[in-house]
Each structure stands twice: as structure tokens, then as C-alpha cells.
Structure 1
Amino acid sequence: MSTPPLNARQPRRNRYLLMRHGHSEANASGLIISRPERGLSGFGLSRQGHAQLEGLLADWRWPLPDRLLHSDFRRTAETAEWVGRHFGLPLSPHAGLRERSFGELEGLSDGCYADVWTLDADDPRHQAFGVESVTSVADRMLAVIAALEVETHGETILLVSHGDPLQILLTALEGRPLSAHRNREPLPPASITPLS
């Protein structure tokens, strides 16, 4: 059975809060860490990331989450641990919320992102440098929400993920071309974006 496409105008059974992980060691080092071989066990939160989360949780202005799902990368898992501890929530790692894979650019300068994003704007299906295509990221991120819409009702669900996947998800939900995902204002580390 196929799931109908989700969009921003379609009513949802649950409320969703999208959270980008706090500032990480990869951010501090200016490195692309996008593959599980390195991201699952290394490059967690930086001191700056810890401070961001402390401030965010002290000044929480959003609905209290009932559930917490997160990418299983270390930086997102550590972010989720802070939030889960604060609200007394169990953690649910979910591979569907992982960072976009940047293929051959793994471990290189984060200045290489711009090369990929330029190609994204021409073709969201491209896989240059072995990167995961924008369309593939959108499909897996939308699938996470679609599954939750079937499983639960009336909950506030916090999804902790990464900058590129969240930008792509928001672009898809807005019904805009996926090639325009970088036209959105970038989501800062440790930020919350409610889905209305």
C-alpha cells in the first residue's frame, strides 16, 4: 500500500519539531563527516554544542515532546541524550534521519559542500562524487514522518537530524522544487523548527 505524499498544507495526526544537532566537532574542524563509518562513533558535540543545548533547554518555548527520534550519528545521538534526559524521554535511533552521504568528499573541507549544492540546483537526482541525491534524502526523510503518521496519533514528536536532510525535508513539505533546498535560510545548530 503506497503512502500519500505529505505536504505542508495536509493536516497531520501528530505535531513535529525538527531539531538540528548542536555544534559538533566536525563543525569546529570544518570537515565533512557524513558516512556511518566515521559519524556513528566519532565527531560528537563540541563544547559550544553543549552550551547551545544547555541554553535551548533552559529556555524551551515549544510544546513538550512525547517522543524523541534521532539520527544514530554521534552528534545527533548526543544532542538527543541531552533532550531526553531533560524531559525524561527514551531515545529512539532511526537510520532514516541520518546525515546526507557526501560520498568521496568524506573527511574533506566543508567548503566542498558548495560544489555539491551547485549541482543540486541543476539536478536534485545527481550523484556526483558519489553523494546521496537530494531526491533520495527527501524520500527517506518523508518516509520517517509517513510511518509515524500511521503508528501514532496526537503526539508531539521531536526529530533530531542534520542540516542538509532537514532543509531538504522542509523544502519537500513546502511543495517547492527540491533543487531549491539551499534557497532556505540555513538551520543553525541546536535550532528547533516546528512543522505547522
Structure 2
Amino acid sequence: MSNTFLATSDHWRNRYLLMRHGHSQANQQALIVSSPERGIDAFGLSETGEQQLASIVDTWPWPVPTRVVHSDFLRTTQTAARVANAFELAMTPDKRLRERFFGELEGGSDARYPDVWALDAESAEHGTHKVEAVGAVAARMMAVLEEWERKAEGETILIVSHGDPLQILLTALKGRPLTQHREQPALLPASITQVGMP
């Protein structure tokens, strides 16, 4: 997987606002919800998440987006909708922005995340517990940006996804080994990281 053309700002055609979904019911219940079967129709935003989005939209400090592209999970769709409605934008769902699949750990306690991350630090291609490999997550996330870089120019695109995929993407964009994705500062619910053209 090549990410060199996105590694420096002078190669970007667009600006991207990488947004983690707001605080969710899965966060509230400390559960791993990573499968489409569970995540598309359930485990949306918590009351805290709704408040976060209301506050962010009211005080929006970033460039105004021209497009909203989002994971089709409920928590990301609801997050994207709050921003899209505020700026009167259409929404584009993209399955490649989904949560990293945590395999046999699905539906269990999120206390198991560090077990997987420790294995990630040893290999970006491991599939222990049938977890989606870091390399596969990076490839699909990068593919989304690469596609928009080909078909748009001068836009500000809000990308709404999940914590692990976004940390992995940011690691790839920096050209760092994917095994180091947990060294990337943790992305808080409803946080936004700007990348791309100034």
C-alpha cells in the first residue's frame, strides 16, 4: 500500500476533516460493536454524544465542509447527519469507513482492546481472534482519500469514521509503520483532525 503521494501537504488537492463519531451507546456500555450486523441499526449516539454534536455544530471552528462522507454504522451516520444538516449538505455513506472488525471479541467488553493493540505492535497483519488486520484497515481507509483526491479538487470533505480506523489512517498518512498506530494520540469522541491542503 502506497501513501507517499499523501505524505506531504503540497500534494493534496482537497482538505479533509477526519472526525470520530460522538460518544456512543457502545462507549457508554463499554462494549465492542464492530460488526455491520450490530452496528448499522443499533448502538447510536448516547445522550452525551448528542450534546457533543450540538455544541460542535453551534461553535464550529473548522473550515466549513463541502461534502460529508461517513461510515454506515448508526453512530457515525447520526454524527454525520448533525453536521450535514447544519450546513445543508448531502451525505455519502462509504462502507470502507466502517469500524475495524474485532472478530471473536465482537459484543464483548472493550477492556479487550489493549490485548489486540499489543499484538498490533508486533505485526500489522495479524488476525488473532479473527480481528481485521491493521494493514487491511489502512488500505481501505487510504482508498477513500485516494478516490476523493482523484475526483475532486479544492473541497473540504468531512470524513466521519471510528477511533481505530482513523488512528491507523493518520499513522499511514505520516508514513510511519502501522505497528505504531497506538502511538498516535487517542482520538476523543466527536474530535476532528484536519489534514490535506491548508
TM-score scaled to structure 2, two decimals? 0.96
The residue number in structure 2 matching 1:78 is 78
The residue number in structure 2 matching 1:99 is 99
Secondary structure at 2:64 match in 1: coil
Secondary structure at 1:115 match in 2: helix
Asked if 1:114 corresponds to 2:122, the answer is no
- Separation in structure 2 between the aligned mates of residue 185 and residue 56 of structure 1, nearest angstrom: 20
The residue number in structure 2 matching 1:133 is 133
| Stretches of structure 2 lacking an aligned partner (at least 5 in a row) | none
The number of equivalent residue pairs is 195
CA contact (8 A) 1:98 1:161 kept: yes
The list of structure 1 runs, each at least 4 consecutive aligned residues, that deviate by more than 6 angstroms after superposition, is none
The residue number in structure 2 matching 1:189 is 189
Asked if 1:152 corresponds to 2:141, the answer is no
- Taking only aligned residues, the RMSD between alpha carbons, in angstroms, comes to 1.3
Deviation, structure 1 residue 5 = 4.1
Deviations, residues 75-97 of structure 1 (Å, cap 9, x unaligned): 00000110111010011100010
Deviation, structure 1 residue 149 = 0.6
- Separation in structure 2 between the aligned mates of residue 68 and residue 93 of structure 1, nearest angstrom: 9
Deviation, structure 1 residue 3 = 7.6
Deviation, structure 1 residue 8 = 2.8
- Separation in structure 1 between the aligned mates of residue 2 and residue 105 of structure 2, nearest angstrom: 33
- Separation in structure 2 between the aligned mates of residue 152 and residue 81 of structure 1, nearest angstrom: 22
Deviations, residues 14-70 of structure 1 (Å, cap 9, x unaligned): 110000000000000000000000000000000000000111111111110000000
Query: What amino acid sits opposite 2:141 in the alignment?
Result: M
Secondary structure at 1:113 match in 2: helix
The residue number in structure 2 matching 1:9 is 8
CA contact (8 A) 1:24 1:43 kept: yes
Deviation, structure 1 residue 7 = 3.2
- Separation in structure 2 between the aligned mates of residue 44 and residue 102 of structure 1, nearest angstrom: 18
Distance change in 2, residues 1:44/1:155 (3 Å):
same
- Separation in structure 1 between the aligned mates of residue 6 and residue 138 of structure 2, nearest angstrom: 12
| Stretches of structure 1 lacking an aligned partner (at least 5 in a row) | none
Amino-acid identity (%): 55
Query: What amino acid sits opposite 1:171 in the alignment?
Result: T
Distance change in 2, residues 1:66/1:93 (3 Å):
same
- Separation in structure 2 between the aligned mates of residue 37 and residue 71 of structure 1, nearest angstrom: 14
